[in-house]
Amino acid sequence: MSERLQPGDTAPAFTLPDADGNEVSLADHLGRKVIVYFYPTALTPGCTKQACDFTDNLEVLATAGYDVIGVSPDKPEKLAKFREKESLKVTLVSDPEKATLEAYGAYGEKKLYGKTVTGVIRSTVIVDEAGKVERALYNVKATGHVAKIIKDLGI
């Protein structure tokens, strides 16, 4: 199982395709804070709720200096369908090899309906302007998570 990140760690670099197949790199966001959130599957109820919450609060987060990137193992085509169906405004990127998910500690053993399974651990990592981990939150709930982040960050 991959190691979980701690505040002060350097955020692992990544370059992944977005819903349109364009490459998105964490390095593109140096100088701005970035909320990188990891979710299991597009077009499922919890992941849809979370993505919609980020979209609904995107302007508030952007005004406070935060960019938002959602990462899942879904292929870009599925991400595009997710974005269109739900009118999402957040940047969604595809990590089918799960290398970025593992680098961020967001892939491994988890409990699902009482069983231990291996999969995406719903997580959020907040990266500062210099590319360092400011906060790393694991096993977060899809509902209410964005409101909690906004409150915790004092936005």
Helices 45-56, 145-152: axis angle to 10 degrees equals 40
Contact, 90 vs 54, CB < 8 A?
yes
Q: Catalytic residue among 47, 101, 106, 126, which?
A: 47
The verdict on whether 52 is a catalytic residue reads: no
Phi/psi for 14 (5° steps) reads: -150, 150
Interatomic CA distance for residues 155 and 117, integer angstroms? 35
Strands (E) across 4-151 are located at 15-17, 23-25, 33-38, 66-72, 91-94, 107-112, 115-120, 123-127, 133-138
Q: Which residues are catalytic?
A: 47
